[in-house]
Amino acid sequence: MNPIDDQPYRMLIDGRWQAGGEGALFPTYDPATGDVLAQVHAATARDVDTAVRAARRAYDEHWRDTTPRERARLLRRLAALFEREVEKLAWIETRNVGKPITHSRESLSAMPASLDYFAGIIPAVRGDTIPMLNHASVLNFTLREPLGVCALVMPWNYPMTLTLHKLAPALAAGNTVVIKPSEITPLSTLALAALFAEAGFPDGVVNVVNGSGASVGEALVRHPGVARVSFTGGTATGAAIQAAAAADVKRVTLELGGKSPLIVFDDAALDAAVDVAVGDIVKNSGQVCIACTRLLVQDGIREAFQARLETRLAAIRMGDPADPQTQMGPLVSRAQAERVRAYLDIARQEGATPRSYPDPASRPETARGFYVPPTLLTTADNGMRTSQEEIFGPVQSLIGFKDEAQALRIANDTRYGLAAVVFTRDGGRALRMARRLESGSVAVNTGVRTSVDAPFGGYKHSGIGKERGLEAILENTQLKNVKYDTSL
């Protein structure tokens, strides 16, 4: 199947598909082959300004005054259209990101339910009445109101899923949006944008501008008409966005990097723990912010754990993402593959032993693309760069520990705090670890599975604010206090 449009992809501004103001194009690639997949029109700073102004006009003239019922109806209509187009969208994501088609189908098939969820909880966004301690005649209450124009700056690893998980609560709360997809993987977001007019959203409520973070992203984040910036991506970029947004005191939500630990005690269900480790290194080729990339295994079972993990990884089928039998595809770009390989060199220099499974050279279909096999760094310790820095690829460090206190100390010895996983049959220990681990999400005896109805976000350098759940809509609102003297 080839759903990729062979014409240059335009951008959506004020309900119209437009070329960039200077007519510039940039290529996006097929990670499985390295070939150019499509050409995309690049926005200028003036295009960004036009998009923000269109979003503000739509907010003032239409969207802020729509009823909760109307916003919910449009989101459900979008969910139905998405379900109709999910196969096409999955193929676009597979071609542009490099993830296996089975993975794309699985993740995108869940999106209509996510849209339905945000449509359903709109009535839960409400204010409170507050008793006045000294004024019986004064009615004191709060209102939850939208912010205005929200800028959504997207990553390249899950372009469709993460766009919808930012977009839906922003729209549900009554905001309008300008989306900047990653310049590496813009195609599925642009295909999604084509559904908004059919769903019935007014022109300008949703806008999409294409281009690099350094130019288009910078112009969008700094635009005075933007009230809130939501960003998912690397920590360094997130810090730069926070600094830029501070000039206009914009609201900021940042979902950033991770170096999550998988902590396996000697009483654990070993095969279940290995399942999580395999999934986190193979899924999307390890390009997942919450992936457990530090495997902390108690000394008494470390050899057994490593042996079972190596057996599983050696059987992974790495190859063409379009093949339904493929379990692991390429990395998203040549630059990302080179970055991961550079970290493997660093690991060797630091004294770790990289062990890779399987060998990409054994599969002819991997000869041209950006493939890096799943790799364990044995003889690793937590002080190594490869244990401290986010590699964002199929690489895990295997680190031993003696007891609960040491496991907790190693797990928290990182600037990140996005997620953590604990495997133990000791209920008391599980609760102690869950309370003391410095991370926004903790899973016990299962992997970290994000859910649309549960808040998600990190501690420390892993971010600010929450996405998903009711908290995601509240992040898109501002609270107003009203006092009304009913005696006059």
Catalytic amino acids?
166, 255, 289, 467
Residues 6+ apart with CB under 8 A from 293: 258, 259, 260, 280, 281, 286, 390, 391, 395, 396, 397
Q: How many CB atoms lie within 10 A of CB 338?
A: 12
**Cα(485)–Cα(488) distance, rounded to whole angstroms?**
6
Question: Residue 410 corresponds to which amino acid?
Answer: I
**Cα(259)–Cα(209) distance, rounded to whole angstroms?**
31
Q: Where are any strands of DSSP class E within 394-476?
A: 395-401, 416-417, 419-423, 441-444, 459-460, 463-464
| Number of helices followed by number of strands (H, E) in the chain | 16, 21
- Secondary structure (DSSP) of 423-437: E-S-HHHHHHHHHHS
Measuring CA to CA, which residue among 408, 446, 433, 420 is closest to residue 258?
420
Tokens of 245: 């947004």
The residue whose two tokens read 């063409």 is 320
Q: How far from each other are the two terminal CA atoms of the chain, in whole angstroms?
A: 70
User: What backbone torsions phi and psi does residue 450 show, to the nearest 5 degrees?
Assistant: -65, 145
* Cα 182 from chain centre: 12
- C-beta separation of 257 from 462 below 8 A: yes
